[in-house]
Amino acid sequence: MQDSRKIVILTGAGVSAESGLGIFRDKGGVWTKYDLNEVATPEGFARDPVKVHDFYNARRANAATARPNAAHFALARLQSDHPGEVVLITQNVDALHEAAGATAIHMHGRLDRATCSACTACWDAPLVMSADDPCPKCSAPQTRPDIVWFGEVPQAMDVIAEHLTTADVFAAIGTSGQVYPAAGFVAEAARSGAHTIEINLEPSDVAGMFDAQIDGAATTSVPAWVDSVLNTA
Ligand code: APR
């Protein structure tokens, strides 16, 4: 019988770690080197836009040279080959899911997009943004990376809520489960009856919220999991 289960997947920094993009919280993570209040809040941006642009310009340059890894490609394969719907939601601001051929909902925005605080226009970000860049639509010099900062509402939450209530399987991959609302998705999916799986380098602090656990580096564990779902192992 054909497996038409709806699979909803949440990815985090661990999926892109082996592509050379840093994670946030463990040893050597981004938030051990930078104060997130200074570079990832609207208040920090208002205080020092140059510092915030410098931070994201460096991350954008890094992301521009990164290549998708075996985990990104496996998830793209799952999305194209699974007979049921596969929804990919990512907290990552890189474009590696798309580079691997997948379609993802970017709930925390994208490094390669810019937006205007004055008129909400959105466009492809130049590699280097500056505090004086005028908006291409309204000319206001209030452009910023299209990134959801702490204290702001993530993107596409209504669409995501709908997917969580109709999921048969929910998998969280490479995320520490420390940041809401994404950290609450497992509970929402479970309430709607989904089977929940955590796939992570090691069990996270919230591993107990999941029905099942797969440990290991994403480039190994994710292709193996996709093979098992598609029955191609
Ligand atoms: N394979 C699988 N998992 C890995 C790997 C790997 N190669 N390397 C690290 N991990 C796991 C870590 O064990 C950790 O649980 O990935 C997780 C990364 O956690 P965080 O650094 O907290 O990243 P994430 O959960 O994506 O952060 C959420 O926080 O600062 C914000 O907006 C930022 O989107 C980000 C959000």
Q: How big is the chain by its Cα radius of gyration, in Å?
A: 18
Q: Which helix (H) or strand (E) holds 86?
A: strand 86-90
Alpha carbon separation from 185 to 86, 123, 160, 199, 214 (Å, rounded): 16, 29, 9, 15, 18
Q: What pLDDT digit, counting tens, does each position of 198-220 carry? A: 999 999 999 999 999 999 999 99
Say which residues have a Cβ less than 8 Å from residue 88's Cβ, sequence separation at least 6: 9, 11, 75, 79, 97, 102, 103, 104, 105
- Averaged confidence pLDDT in the chain: 96
Type of residue numbered 220: T
- Name the DSSP letter for residue 209: G
Q: Find the mean pLDDT for residues 114-137.
A: 95
Alpha carbon separation from 18 to 53, 92, 197 (Å, rounded): 25, 14, 21
Sign of the torsion angle spanned by Cα atoms 188, 192, 193, 195: negative
Domains and CATH numbers, the chain: 1-21+67-108+154-233 (3.40.50.1220), 22-65+112-147 (3.30.1600.10)
Q: pLDDT band at residue 28, thresholds of 50, 70 and 90?
A: confident
Q: What pLDDT digit, counting tens, does each position of 138-180 carry? A: 999 999 999 999 999 999 999 999 999 999 999 999 999 999 9
Site to substitute for ligand 1 among 105, 146, 201, most atoms within 8 A of C-beta: 201
As a whole number of angstroms, the distance between CA 92 and CA 33 comes to 18
Are 127 and 48 in contact by the 8 Å Cβ rule? The answer is no
Name all residues whose Cβ lies below 6 A of ligand 1.
12-14, 17-18, 23-26, 29, 91, 108, 174-176, 178-179, 200-202, 204, 217-218
Site to substitute for ligand 1 among 23, 69, 210, most atoms within 8 A of C-beta: 23
